[in-house]
Amino acid sequence: MSKGYLAVALAYALFAFGLYRFEVYRTRQRGVDAITVFIVLFVLQCCLAGLLIYATLPFVDPDSATEVPAFDRILQRADLTTAFLVLCLSIWFVVFFYIGTALTRALLPPHAPVVPDIGSHALRLRVLPLLFIITLGMVLTLYSFMQLGDDMLMRYSELVQYRADESDIARNALNANALALTQTWSWLTVVAVFCVFTEGRWRWLLPAALIGLLVFALLGASRRALFIPVLMIYLMSVLYSRRWRLRWVAVAALPLLMVLAFGKNLLAAVGQTGTVETTAGYESVTGALLRAASDLGITIVESLGTLQFLDLAPRFGVDHLISMVQIFPEHSLGLELDFPERIVRISTEAFDGADAQDIPPGLMGQMWLDFRAFGPMVWGLVFGAQMAIVQFLFERLRRTRYAAAVAVLVTFVVALPLNSGSFDFTFSVDIVALAFVLLLCVRLRRAFPRQARLRILPPAPALDRDIRA
């Protein structure tokens, strides 16, 4: 079994290398694009995480591999057949994703004959309204936070319990709305950092924007609240400059792994006791690495659990319709209808128990639940079509920091189901608020008149042909 898991880890490594080589070939002319950003998110959550999970799994105690009951229960039941099935579903998803991007791009208008990076439109952001909205969000979030406890540590302890859906923390209209939008304000602050850095007259606000980003990360009371903004900033820089800056990755990799490995235990200790003295540790370095990899690649662990514990008839996408309509409360709009049970609650009960927090079925697991072996084809084509449209719009923009920031933000929203296989996080209040603010603050204008657009000229005749003439 140990050698088999190492073979699976090697297969994930080869899969990641194959994606790298294909992306280098695909982007050799136009450079990094929005599709590349999507593939990076997929590689992090599926390929890199899969490599680390199966490379460390043989060297840990199977009874307490990650110190998370649901994860340990899934990994104890794991076998090579299921592991390779999840890998194959991942590979075919990527294959059909690229097919979907190619087919959709063929249906869209051809590339405009303009100088590269000088698209037909320029995108700008209204900095002042954006900063005003973020400031308003900061005030509401901090006011809600200050209502939680008697001192700062107690307030943060109750905030952690609130994020963990503990029943002891009272919920009201204020904290239910203010704290629910913390992710929205955090992601918009990332965009604001790029805006104030670009605009010379606003650059003096850059330290305040960075401090605000840190405050929202802390108020998010989760590891993803810190990890995602850092990853966003990096990918926005890559998309704008076309430089990967791997030294930044090397510097940030170890601290981020530490956050993934110990962050949840630290937050749990603060939430339960109000101190960090009871933070749980790990028996070995491989145990800590497995925990970090399992949290980064939670979609792989959840997919393993779905294939092992759930025996349901094909769902044919009904769960995604439920995700879309759940933004409206039950019995709203004058309809006396009860929504069907969400697949997230079904998988949670199978993995950990009915009273646990949501544990989605995972990307590959949901593919299998939807259409069995045809799941990767349907999901790949759908996501390929979405990203082809995002890239179609991006390539018509002048490559500025504004355009790069908005393109990465939209790509993150499209890629949200990669982490869970569920659209619950895509069709949620915070994403609706994010879209509304972007529509309010984004401005588009033609970069130059249509008549003055620079066109690619045919190649000049050879010099010796002119001499002979």
Annotate 373-424 with DSSP letters as a single string.
GGHHHHHHHHHHHHHHHHHHHHTTB---HHHHHHHHHHHHHHTGGGGTS-ST
pLDDT of residue 114: 46
> Above pLDDT 70, what percent of the chain?
84
What is the per-residue pLDDT for 7? Answer: 95
Convert the pLDDT of each residue in 308-346 to its tens digit. Answer: 999 999 999 999 988 888 777 654 555 556 677 889 999
pLDDT of residue 179: 80
**Which residues, in sequence order, are CB contacts of 366 under 8 Å at separation 6+?**
303, 306, 319, 343, 360, 375, 417, 421, 422
| The pLDDT of residue 463 | 37
Read off the pLDDT of residues 204-245 as tens digits, 9 standing for 90 and up.
Answer: 888 999 999 999 998 988 888 888 999 999 999 999 998 898
Per-block mean pLDDT, blocks of 10 residues, the chain (469 long): 88 97 92 96 96 93 81 92 96 98 92 59 90 94 86 83 71 72 94 85 88 92 87 94 86 79 65 52 78 92 95 92 76 58 90 87 96 96 97 90 94 95 89 94 75 44 42
* pLDDT at residue 251, as a whole number: 83
Residue 380 has a pLDDT of 97
> Global pTM?
0.90
Model pLDDT, residue 448: 57
DSSP annotation string for 417-463? GGGTS-STTTSSHHHHHHHHHHHHHEEEEESS-GGG---PPPPPPPH
Record the tokens describing residue 336, joined without a space.
Answer: 């006396």
Q: Identify the pLDDT of residue 91.
A: 98
